[in-house]
Structure 1
Amino acid sequence: MKQIAKTAAVAVLAVACLSSPLLAEGDVTQPSDNPELSEGAELLNRGFQLLLEGLANEVEPMADKWAEGWAELIERFSDMNAYYPPETLPNGDIIIRRRIPLAPDDAPLGETDL
């Protein structure tokens, strides 16, 4: 869970920075008396762009996995209103109960994880 939170934070940061008007393309140069300062600013800008592109490339495969997982969750639970909110038991187990139990004929076949 902590890994997901860290990855989500990196993804949000990358998206926020990429959508920033500071990274707008175009030639925005300000006159400077010091050519070394302007060259350094250009290098920092390029380095920051490379950093954000690298982060976006790293986050993209995880976003695809999240989308697949989310689609699987939606398919599995279909209508979330058919379930009560999750309960956490004292031993750490999480239970998701149906509001209206399935009839024995409607119950899905297969193994039950305990």
Structure 2
Amino acid sequence: MTRILTVLTFCHLCAAPVAAQEEDAPSMMERGAQQFLEGLLLEMEPAFDSMRGFMEQMGPALTDLMGQIEDWSVYEAPEILPNGDIIIRRKPEGTEPSEETPPQIDL
């Protein structure tokens, strides 16, 4: 009887950490979501690297441009010409945007 009680106690003590690990372990859905996101990050890494390179090259130029333009409200929305050029026209003098009419943006 003492042997059986000792064996049962030993089994119970060994099984307790295993049960605790199962409760803390992520579910299959959590593991699947984690693997999906890790795969997505691996796929997007080249795009992030090229974006980082673009910002390193264009960042100073964009900062300089932002410093040169004092008030963006005096310019019209950018316009793309058929040849691919992008122009930003200055609004005629004396026209101020009305607060009643929101600006229209073509997407």
TM-score (norm 1): 0.39
Q: Which has the higher contact order (CA 8 A, sep 6+)?
A: 1
Q: Which has the larger radius of gyration?
A: 2
